[in-house]
Structures are given as structure tokens and as C-alpha cells.
Amino acid sequence: MAFDIVSLLLRMPHVPPSFFTRFILHQFLPLPVPGTDYTKKTVIVTGGNGGIGLEAVRHFAKLGARVIIACRNTESGQNARNDIERANYPGRVEVWPLDLCSFDSVKAFCAKANMVLDRLDVLLLNAGVMVKDVQANAEGGGYETTILTNVISTFLVAFLLMPLLKQTAETQAEKTVVTVVASEAHFLTSFKERFEPNIFESFRNGEFIQYERYNTSKLLDVLLARELANRLDASSPSGNSKVIVNSVNPGLCRSGLFKEIPFFISLFVGFLSLVFARSAEQGSRTLLAAAAGGRETHGKYMDAAKVVQPSSFVLSDEGKRAQKRVWEELVDILEGVEKGVTGNI
């Protein structure tokens, strides 16, 4: 555990000093209260049964949406739904099972959505984990839990629901939005896996350091959201996709994300949270701002409810090459899960 802290601190000098300045400033920036009208609109929030996801669901329901909480723990989801319903908001909340560690569960969830829903206006890909050790998932192709949950299955949901998002944009003559919840942690990864012959395969058996794996997963989210936006534009007759894709940093929030971190690191995180952390409700405002984003947010990274620059690596030539490579590897994986799914893009 002590080694984890030391190695984390040793890596910090490689992060531009501006990162720390921006982190501190952005944590205290006022965040707009969501006000977009979602009456008659449908929203899916993965991991909407707790933390910032639950607060996002609450906002969407308050704004009139039909909101689907997609979560593995449906009992927790029902408790969340019951709590929101007591507020008598104009929207309504449903709970559908979704286990991102199981490809079959992801496919079943998306098949139901494509069959039952007549529209999908916002897909908020919020679910994410930071697990303490390697956990291979047989139902998820044997991939490790962090990468499987935060990246592979997250984008499988987006690929499988893309036809419904496109159809809604066409029939309703207005944009639809896919928001990927990323993190400023993407600044803090060395991403050594990019030097391996196959990036995703290296996650199966390579070195596992908890915070490094989480940070890398969030870097992949930023890269893949950017590439998904590019691909949607390329496949659109007008060159401008009506499906908006963006990624968002909710900032440091008081939530259950850090429940599995080692004790000594938890002391450090606890101190940061005490001084700098937003409430879950405040963090959820950043998600709503991204979900309400227009063309100006397409392919962009958002922080504190504004479009900002991602890490210098993302914008570098090396980052752009990594983005293409990660996309191509992901496409191969998803085609193996559901043949033809990448044709949805």
C-alpha cells in the first residue's frame, strides 16, 4: 500500500503544473442548475442507482423525462426509484437490469430498449468502477473488471443503442446525446499498455495497479468518445451527425467510487474530499450540462459544465495514433460479441 502512494506521488511531477491549478479552480466553480425541458423525452442512465448517477436521475425526473435506471443491483435501483417518486416530479423512473460484466446482460438490456422504447434522447454512460485487484469475468470475455465495465461494455451499450438514437434524431428533428462519464484522472496515467502489441489483451495479464488501471480506463473513454464522434460524422450524409457524443469530468465528488481503495490511500483521498470534493448533486450537474450539450460539445471533453482541453497526450500525434488503434481493437472485440454491431455507427 505504501508503495502505491509513493509510486503515485512519483508520477505526479510528470503532470503539468496547470493540472493542479485547474483542478482546484474547477472544483469551486459555480455549476448551473439543470433547466433543460425533458418532457416527453427518454433518458437512460447507467449506474443510476447511486452517487452522481442517482442525482442525475433525480434531475432528469424533475425536468419531466422518462428515466431508465440501468443497474446491476435492481433492489438498490428500486429503492432509488421509490425515493425519487416520493418527490412527485413530473417525470417517471423505471429500473432495468444491466450487468456490464456480462455481455449477455448488455445485449438483453439493449434488445429490450430497442424493442420497447419509441425514442431515446439521452444515453448517459455513467457506470464506472475502481476495483482493488484483477477480476477476470467469464461472462465478459475474460476481461478484467475495470476495463470491461468502464470501457468495453460501456461502448457496447452505445453501439447497440445507436440505431435508436439515430432514429430519434431523425423522427424528432432534433439532436440526441451520448455522454460518456470520464474523469480528469485521464491526465494521471502513464498508459504503458500502448507499447504492447495488443492494448486490450495486455490488460488481461499485465501489471495491475488499482489507480493506474482506473486512470487508464478513463483515458480510453476520452479517446473512444472522440473517435466515435468522428466516425458518426464520417457516416452522416451531411458530415454532421445528429447524434452528439461528448465526454465529461464530474470532478472529485463524495460518492462510493473509492470504497475499495487501500487504507493509506483512502486517508489521502479523504483529506482531498474533505477540502475539495463536490456533493453528488453538484457533480451530477456536470453530467446534465454535457447531456444538454449541442454541436459545440461533439467529440469534446467537458469540465465544470464547459468544453475544455483534455490532456496533452490526447491532443498529441501519439495520442491520435493511440486513439485510432484503441478504436480498431475495440471494434474487433465488439464484433466478436455481436457480429455486425459496428455497422450501427
Distances, alpha carbon 75 to alpha carbons 213, 278, 329, in Å: 29, 27, 35
Residue 112 annotated among the catalytic residues of the structure: no
Do residues 119 and 171 lie in contact, with contact meaning Cβ atoms separated by under 8 Å? Answer: yes
Residue 214 annotated among the catalytic residues of the structure: yes
User: How far is residue 198's CA from residue 194's CA, in Å, rounded to a whole number?
Assistant: 8
Q: Residues near 216 by Cβ (< 8 Å), separated by ≥ 6?
A: 147, 189, 191, 193
From the candidates 218, 242, 300, 301, which is the catalytic residue?
218
User: How far is residue 4's CA from residue 321's CA, in Å, rounded to a whole number?
Assistant: 30
Do residues 338 and 107 lie in contact, with contact meaning Cβ atoms separated by under 8 Å? Answer: yes
The gap from C-alpha 97 to its chain's centroid, in whole angstroms, comes to 18
Pairing of strands 66-71, 42-46: parallel
User: How far is residue 284's CA from residue 286's CA, in Å, rounded to a whole number?
Assistant: 5
Do residues 100 and 132 lie in contact, with contact meaning Cβ atoms separated by under 8 Å? Answer: no
Angle at 144 between CA 218 and CA 9, to 5 degrees: 50
From the candidates 143, 214, 300, 301, which is the catalytic residue?
214
Q: Residues near 57 by Cβ (< 8 Å), separated by ≥ 6?
A: 45, 48, 67, 69, 80, 84, 93
Which residues are known to be catalytic?
A: 214, 218
